[in-house]
Amino acid sequence: MKYLIIGGVAGGATVAARLRRMDETAQIILFERGEYVSYANCGLPYYIGGTIQERKSLFVQTAEGFRRRFCIDIRTNQEVSAIHPDQKTVEVRNLQTQETYLETYDKLVLSPGAEPLRPRIEGINHPRIFSLRSVPDTDTIKAFVQTPDIHRAVVVGGGFIGLEMAENLRHLGLDVHLVEMSNQVMAPLDYAMAAIVHHELQQQGVELHLSDGVSRFSDTNGAVNVHLQSGTTLTADFVILSIGVRPETKLAREAGLEIGKTGGIKVNDYLQTSNPDIYALGDAIEVRHRVTGQPALIPLAGPANKQGRIVADNLVFGNQRKYEGTQGASIAKVFSLSVAATGANAKLLDREHIPYLSSYTHSCSHAGYYPGGAMLSILIHFSPRDGKLLGAQVVGAEGADKRIEMFAQVIQRNGTIWDLTELEHAYAPPYSAAKDPVNMAGFVADNILTGKVKIITWNQLPDYTDALQIDVRTPAEYRQGSIPGFINIPLDELRGRLGELPENKQQRIVVTCAVGLRGYLASRILMQHGYTEVYNLSGGYRTYSFL
């Protein structure tokens, strides 16, 4: 059997290696138009910033290493320019010699990845405007930032790469401005969670320009002028363009393969394209979102690696293994914060018309009496009908990684908020509390669904201006900062001051505290004294304070 694989890195290289492990006699040829067949794409910003000091650390496997270990024909600097499915051939151009030739196949695998978006903006071809997607891109940026008199950078785009580049450029001592057309960074997050990231970026000296896009670029003595739609002009020694990626589908389109409605290559559950002899995987394909069930583009390294194993098995043994979809579990380091998300956020749920409730909780990353604990802010979305967990987001300085993985496992198994309450975690004071933050998120959601408390979220506050608004924190906490319109009645005084409340037990009342716990206790007191319209502000003052 002769297999051709187009593209290396996470997906294609995984397919090639597993194919060899499954079939020692197969002829396997991998085409990579670049020089490097398998490298740590996600590590590139950290090499530029100096956290990863050795360039060689970026390479998972070299072409020569692949050849020796797996007996695979690795053809770097060779680009497949056309696929002819009827003849089962591909047309290849050697980028060093410009020679072209045809190669036959029995089965073909497409792993072309995605390409950085580069919109048609005036001045975008300025030589000091860079994108980061490959090792050569990295080498170019690394060499540039090490030259003298480089002090100012503008990063355009507030996604994963943009934020990682902003952090690493700040570590190099550069002045960094970050421009984002949306009103928030990190699209997988809801706004209130992204606001915590905004605060961290500003604390670390990154100048944010949100809800503002680039209208054009211009040059002044070699420097780049970034003209924003708001009328602001930023002058930088260089620009990192990081506004997203799109799947590379040119080969697939020209070969007549079906393209999905999201713009990715359409595949079935076995990762097989519309041509039964051609499979595809990685950033180039359209996947099924595990929560919505709808087609989606989710370009992440973890899913690409898993897809590679499935493709290889299906090629060797026939279509036996299905890819069950992607839920988009992701995490990024933003200075001192870990920022993580999985499942669906509110924007996606609204777009797909999926009903949901939301709950914000803030818990210590480990037992409060053990030194060094840090606050973990958690947002979950869940079904009001059956409690099914739909999405989760975690932002904090410690422990966000393991919590998002706990949430991800529940979502992957179509679990509910009651599964969160029952999750058994490894507990010791340095690592967690007896009631883990994930358990706490489940407990709070259970209180909401079972009617023990009614909540509102920060964006619903304007609809409750007619309500009596009570802050039940201590007077000292209240003086340090409060939400406008809220009066202070400390929780421990509430029972003795019920006479100050309206006699009308149907009067709407909103209570808040630091993170929501004391607000819940206050709600229970008021509800059991006959007040029927009591609402606890989810996440309390802490969530509000970042907005």
**Residues designated catalytic:** 42
DSSP state letter for 335: T
Nearest Cα residue to 209 out of 174, 157, 160, 167: 157
* Strands of 207-210's sheet in order across: 129-130, 238-241, 152-156, 175-180, 207-210
Q: Which amino acid is at 253?
A: R
Q: Phi/psi zone of residue 263: left (φ > 0), alpha (ψ -120 to 50 degrees), beta? A: left
Beta carbons within 10 angstroms of residue 215's beta carbon: 15
* Cα 44 off chain centre by: 17
- Quote the tokens at residue 46: 């950290």
In terms of C-beta distances under 8 Å and separation of at least 24 residues, what long-range contacts does 283-287 make, across chains too?
Answer: 283/11, 283/113, 283/114, 283/245, 283/247, 283/248, 284/110, 284/111, 284/112, 284/113, 284/114, 284/247, 284/248, 284/249, 284/252, 285/247, 286/247, 286/260, 286/261, 286/262, 287/323, 287/325, 287/326
Question: CA triplet 50, 182, 353: central angle to 5 degrees?
Answer: 120
First CA to last CA distance, the chain: 59
Alpha helices per DSSP H over 296-399? 301-317, 346-351
- Measure the CA–CA gap between 146 and 128, rounded to whole angstroms: 14
Q: How many residues does the chain have?
A: 547
Nearest Cα residue to 3 out of 319, 321, 311, 322: 311
Q: Where are the beta strands (DSSP E) in 412-533?
A: 455-456, 468-471, 487-488, 509-512
* Cα 379 off chain centre by: 14
Task: Find out whether 9 and 33 touch, Cβ atoms under 8 Å.
Answer: no
| H-helix or E-strand spanning residue 48 | helix 44-49
Q: Which amino acid is at 61?
A: Q
